[in-house]
Structures are given as C-alpha cells and as structure tokens.
Structure 1
Amino acid sequence: MEVLWFLPTSGDSRYLGTKKGGRPATYVYLKQIAQAVDQLGFHGALLPTGQSCEDAWITASSLLSVTKRMKFLVALRPGLMSPTVAARMASTFDRLSGGRLLVNVVTGSSPAEHGADGIHLSHAERYLVTDEFLSVWRNLLNGEEVNFEGEHFHIKGGKNVYPPVQSPYPPLYFGGSSAIAKEVAAKHVDVYLTWGEPPAAVKEKITHVQQLAARYGRTVRFGIRLHVIVRETADEAWDAAHALIRHVDDETVAAAQKALQQHESEGQRRMLALHSGNRNDLEISPNLWAGVGLVRAGAGTALVGDPETVVERIREYEALGIDTFILSGYPHLEEAYRVAELLFPLLFPSDDVAFAGERLADSIHPK
C-alpha cells in the first residue's frame, strides 16, 4: 500500500466555504507540509492543477532541495503542451530528483477554464488528444525515435536525449469516469484513480478497467482520492466533520452546486449525485461523508471516524484492489501529523514508516 498526501497550492483552510481560518499557499507553508510528508513516511504528495493553483511543476521543483525521499505527483495537461516538451520536462525532473516523479495525467477541467486556456474541444475530443499525447510521450521515454501522424499531433524525428531514472518512465496516474476515459486508462496508464465513492461503485469501476486493460494485454493498478477526518474517538471525528462546514450556509451551497453542475466531467457528476446538495444526509456509506463536495470541486468525500474504523474502511477498499491512497485533510499541515500518528501504526504495524511520526516527535520533544 502507498499512502500519499496533498499539497494545497491554491491555499488551505480550517473551514470550507469561508475565508475564516484561511491560509495562503506561500512557499514557506508549502515547504512545511512537504517536509512533514517527507519525514512522516508518506509515499509522496499530489499537487493539483488549474487556474487557482500555483503551477505544479515549478512548485514541485522548488521543493526538491528541501525534501529527501517523498515523491511528487505532478500534473501533465494534454492539449496545453506538446508531448515532446512534456517528455523532456518529466525526464529532467526525474533525473534531477533521483527518481521522485509521479505523473498525473489531467484531461478535463471546467468549460470556463478550458476556454480561458484556449482549449475549445469537446469532452470526447480532449480524450482523443490524451490518447495521442500518451502514445508519443510513452514512446519517447522508452527511448524510441518518434514519427507520429495523428489528428492532433504531427511529430517528425522526436527524441528524448536524456532518459529518466525510473524505467521505462515515471508512473502514469490518471482519473476519469466516462467510457472514453476508462478506455484511455486501460490503454496507457499505470494507476487508475477514482474519487471516493462507496465500495460497490468503486468495485464496478475497477472491474471494468481491468477488463478493458486485458484487451490490450495490460494490467493496471488502482488508487483512490479521499479526504480523511480521523480523531481518537468517533464522536470527536464527526464533530470535526461538522465543524469543517460550520460556516457554509444554504446560499453558498446553492452557488457552488450551480457552478459544479456546469462541469462536463462524469466524475464530477457522480460526486454531485452522492448528496444532490442536501446537507442533511451526508453519510452516503458507512463512515463515508460527502460534506466536502457541497462546496468543493473534485474529490468530495471523506472517511470519518476513530483510527480503527477508518483503517477498516481503508482495508475494504484495499480488498477491492486499491493499493494507492491519496489522502488530505483540513488544514493539511496539522492533519498530515494526525494521520501519521493515528493511522500509520495500524496500516503499517511492522514497517519503519509506522514509527516515523514517533521518531520525529521524539526529536522535537525528547523523552
């Protein structure tokens, strides 16, 4: 099992839907979170992408020299850059970091953001671009000279002179719930990601992608993106969940839901369907709480409970085939420590990573 954390490059907060308790995404703050991730034993961290975020590649590069072992899950955006340029970027980052790059392929965003970035393609066309992009990118990093004639890319004599550290290339992560997204995933990626849906829905996705990948003679790993609200007792955890949205009023929820309904993403549609904007029935599956999705795009669910219960739910997803867990919590600095302290000893009882937080605490406050 790999457990990753999240770097909030658009800012952080103690509460959702309000400026109260807000924290800007300064370099000092992001460095604090990255160094906590590095020392506590997380496998790495996801950096989001979009207009409201600091650039993921520059941010990750700036944090290499202040971390030692964590990996950075950084977004590639087909349609915003050439696959040859993207291959050089990935290869350089992987070499200079000593093999600490993971690549998150992001095809979709909101229609407004696509237009602002000069992308005027349909949902299906964007995935066709991604298919061609990854065909070129993978072959380049495999050391091949690429001559490619597609509908969207025309490459003559493409080469990647300096190979990456990881072979054949840094692992490709990818999320998408539509039929065409799953087809692209089955054909190209290493880890298929889903947002935190109930186990039955996740199982259905996994089975479908496995079947598609088998047609290409491939196997795919699976990951899940979830928030976590874990406390020493269940009552404390649920109190913390309710406190997270204490400043969210009905008008704020209605405005957020209206904006999110404009997205073309099938995954976003599925997130919205979990709660339909109703804040009175947010536990959609045992300990799976959809409150985050009332006002936040993307991953909208959290596992809520005491350590033993949260680990039990994580193990349920693991039993379905999930081996990568990309977690987050508000605010991200404190919650990284809390997750390492409360969950890692149960998730990794015989692994040194389970004691990373304890060792760090001892170094700060010797017994």
Structure 2
Amino acid sequence: MSAPEVLWYIIPREGPYPWEPAGRRSVDLDYLSRLAGTVESLGYTGALLATDLHDVWPLGSALAARTSTAFKPLLAVHPGLIAPPLLAKMALSFDHLFGGRLRFNVVNGSTDKLRQYGLHVGHDERYALSAEYWSVVKRLTAGEVFDHKGRFYDLKDAGAELRELPPVQEPHIPLWFGGSSAPGIEMAAEHVDVYLTWAEPAAQLAAKLATVRERAAAHGRTLRLGLRVHLIVRDTEEQAWAAADRLLDVTGEATYERQLGRAGDDGVGWQRQFRQHGGRVPAHARELETHPNIWPGMGLFRPGPGTAVVGSTAQVVERLQEYRALGIDTFILSGNPLLEEAYRIAETVLPALGVRRA
C-alpha cells in the first residue's frame, strides 16, 4: 500500500486551547507564514485553510507567496456567496500566480450561518445550489465558454472574459467536500474529486463510505476518500488521555453552553458527531471513548470536526491504519498548538504511515 497524502490545518485562532481567550496566541502573518513553511518542510502536501477570523483568499494568497509549489492550499469556500464566474477568475488568477496548486474545500455550511450573508436556503436546497454552482465552476476553471440556465443561475457567455487566463490544472481545479446527508452524498458522488469525512468508529464509517462508493459508481465515477481528524498523540496512552483531560479542565462553561446549544444544527455530519458524546461533559475524557482511542470530546469545544484519535504513537498509527483499510488515502490532520504538533506528528506518526519529508 502506497503512503497516503497528508495535509495539515492552518487557522488564525491558534494556541494550546484556542477556543478560550486564555489558550489563544497572538497570531500575525509572520507566525502563519512560519507555520506554513514548517508544514511544507515536514512532508505535508499542504494545509486546509478553514473559514475563521481571516478570509481564506488573502490568507491563502499570502501563504502561497511565502511557500513553494510543494505547499498546496485547500481553501474553504461556501457556494453561492461569490458569483461562479468571479470565483473562477479568482481561482485561475491564484493558479497562474502560484503555480497551479489551488484546491477547493466545498463547505455547505449551516442554514443559520448562510443567513448572515443574505443567503436563505434550507438544508436540501443548499445541496441543490451547491451541485449547480460547482458544476458551473468546474466548467469555467476547465476553460469552457458556455451559456447556462439553471435553477439558481442564468449565465450568458460565461467564461468569455477568461479566454486569456487558461487553466493551469487539468481537467479543472479539484473539489474536496464532506457531507453525510443523502443530498450531500449525492452531490459528492456526481461532482467532487475527493470525498472527506470526519472520524467515527471504523464500522460506522465503513457503512457511510460504502454508500458513497455506490452512489459514485451510479454516476460512472470513482472518488478519492479523505479523513479530517484531530490527533492527541503522546509517548504513552496515559499521557495522551491526561492531555485530553487537561482540555476539559481549561474549557469554560460559556464554551460548553455555546457548543451544546448547537444540538439543533441541521448538518447531518454534525448530528452524527453530537450523538457520539450526547451533549455530556464528562469528569474524565475517557468516559466518552466510543471505540479504542476514538474520542468525540473535541465537539464539546469547537465547531467542525469533533472527533480525535487519542493515544500513544503506536495506537494512533493503528487507528489511522484501520481507516486506511477502509479506503482512506488522504488525511487532513491537526493538533493543538498547530505549530508544535505539526512537528510531533511529522516525527512520530507520519514515518509509520510511510510519509517522508520532501
């Protein structure tokens, strides 16, 4: 089995427990550039730049300018917030300036979040919008000029102004996406290149991936499969669980209330994770262990991927190899603080997965 592709995670809200002000570092462009350079030097093939305090386009451009073509930014983009021809122009400009290394992380978001931007679409409608949006963007970033009349967009001579900005990547800028609902999986099966999932117990995840493969085959397609997961890895199992306990201890009541207040979020992936911890804040982290070394407790602190793999280096590698056996060929990893844990994981976990520094 060949080595997996491994990406890291870069976000301006950085520190040992950045969901709390006391656990957050002062981060500026120099710090983020240092982090990106570190990620590049350690053998990761790039990083997911998530939607957060800084918009991903200026952040991605700044980091791409300070790294080489070995560092491929995966930019989180909500469909519908930028007109498809303008997004295509931004993306093709990025690739021309930075050597064809852009990748899109398709983020469908939540109904409530999108209302803040004036986009009023329900859960299933979000995926209908996404399917049309990205089908248009794919054609534009492949260099096509065309008319399009759909449910959400009516475009005339789309791509005409991009004729002198031809694509750098073929056949189009790659789409990475995660969605657990039936409409989300269908959208992925038809349109994306890499299907991403959050970590779950292996048997539970296997059933979802089987559905993804089945739906992709129905469209005559095969998808790469990726896993977004947080790691708490230490020399011993006891040290790793002590680190998880520490996160529970330093987290304030306001954070717990905010996260548990999201129980009604309409994202199916989020609901799958929420059910793993049941909205319960334990006295000890290991009380929430749902499978050996699988801990859904990160969902008590922050939005996004709420599951961590917790254990010794050997245990963490064993769990990741279980996911590899399910067909996962790509990992997006993280650990807090991002800078120090990028080193720790590159020096312990990645060699055991067959990943070598560039």
Q: TM-score range by the shorter chain?
A: over 0.9
Distance 2:219 2:63 in 1: 37
Task: Sort the Cα spacing of 1:252 and 1:57 in 2 relative to 1 into closer, same or farther, 3 A.
Answer: closer
Separation in 2, partners of 1:17, 1:164: 39
- CA deviation string 1:131-151 (max 9, x = no partner): 111111111222221211011
Q: Which residue of 1 aligns with 2:40?
A: 38
In structure 1, the partner of 2:16 is 14
CA contact 2:8–2:44 (8 Å) conserved in 1 = yes
Deviation, structure 1 residue 102: 1.2
Residue 343 of structure 1 corresponds to 349
Structure 2 residue 332 is matched with structure 1 residue 331: no
Q: What SS class does the counterpart of residue 23 from structure 1 fall into?
A: coil
Residue 265 of structure 1, aligned match among 259, 267, 270:
267
The CA distance in 1 between the partners of 2:18 and 2:55, in whole Å, is 23
Contact 2:114 2:120 in 1 (8 A): yes
CA distance in 1, matches of 2:119, 2:61: 26
Shift of 1:249: 4.8
Say which is worse superposed, 156-165 or 208-217, in terms of deviation: 156-165
SS at match of 2:143: coil
Separation of aligned partners in 2, 1:244 and 1:277: 16
Q: Deviations over 1:89-127 (max 9, x none)?
A: 11121222112111111112350x222111111111111
Residue 71 of structure 1 corresponds to: 72
Q: Deviations over 1:65-87 (max 9, x none)?
A: 21111110002221101111111
**Kept in 2: contact 1:79–1:126 (CA 8 A):** no
Letter in 1 for 2:82: M
Instruction: Give the structure 2 partner of residue 209 of structure 1.
Output: 212
Listed as ranges, the gaps of 5+ residues in structure 2 are: none
DSSP 3-state at the match of 1:64: helix
Supply the AA of the counterpart residue of 1:106.
V
After superposition, residues 272-311 of structure 1 pair within 5 angstroms as: 272-280=274-282, 281-311=287-317
State the TM-score, normalizing by the size of structure 1.
0.91
In the alignment, is the contact (CA less than 8 A) between 2:295 and 2:310 conserved in 1?
yes
Measure the CA separation in 1 of the matches of 2:226 and 2:53. 23
Give the equivalent residue in structure 1 for 2:92: 91
- Specify which of 210, 229, 233 is matched with residue 232 of structure 2: 229
Displacement after TM superposition at 1:250 (Å): 5.2
1:142 aligns to what?
Answer: 142
Query: What is the rounded CA distance, in whole Å, between the counterparts of 2:229 and 2:78 in structure 1?
Result: 22
How many aligned positions are there? 347
Q: CA deviation at 1:251?
A: 5.7
Which whole-Å deviations, capped at 9, do the CAs of 1:280-326 have from their partners, x for residues lacking one? 32211110111211121110011111111111111100110111110
Q: How does 1:70-219 map to 2 (within 5 A)?
A: 70-109=71-110, 111=112, 113-159=113-159, 160-161=162-163, 162-219=165-222
Amino acid at match of 2:102: L
Query: Which moved further from structure 2: 292-301 or 240-249?
Result: 240-249
Q: Aligned partners of 2:205 and 2:37: how far apart in 1?
A: 32
C-alpha distance in 1, partners of 2:302/2:346?
25
Q: Match for 1:287: what amino acid?
A: N
Q: Contact 2:142/2:167 (CA < 8 Å) preserved in 1?
A: no
Amino acid paired to 2:244? A
User: Are the aligned partners of 1:72 and 1:102 in contact in 2 as well (CA < 8 Å)?
Assistant: yes
Structure 1 runs of 4+ aligned residues shifted over 3 Å read: 249-252
Amino acid at match of 1:142: A
Q: Percent identity at matched positions?
A: 45
Q: Distance in 2 between matches of 1:140 and 1:199?
A: 38
SS at structure 1 position matched to 2:196:
strand
Give ranges in structure 1 of 5+ residues lacking alignment.
357-367
Q: Distance in 1 between matches of 2:135 and 2:295?
A: 38
Q: Is the 8 A contact 2:229 2:307 kept in 1?
A: yes
Once the two structures are TM-superposed, the CA of residue 57 in structure 1 deviates from its matched residue by 1.2
Q: Distance in 1 between matches of 2:48 and 2:186?
A: 23
Alpha carbon RMSD of aligned pairs, Å?
A: 1.6
Match of 1:255 in 2: 258
Output the CA distance in 1 between the equivalents of 2:250 and 2:76. 31
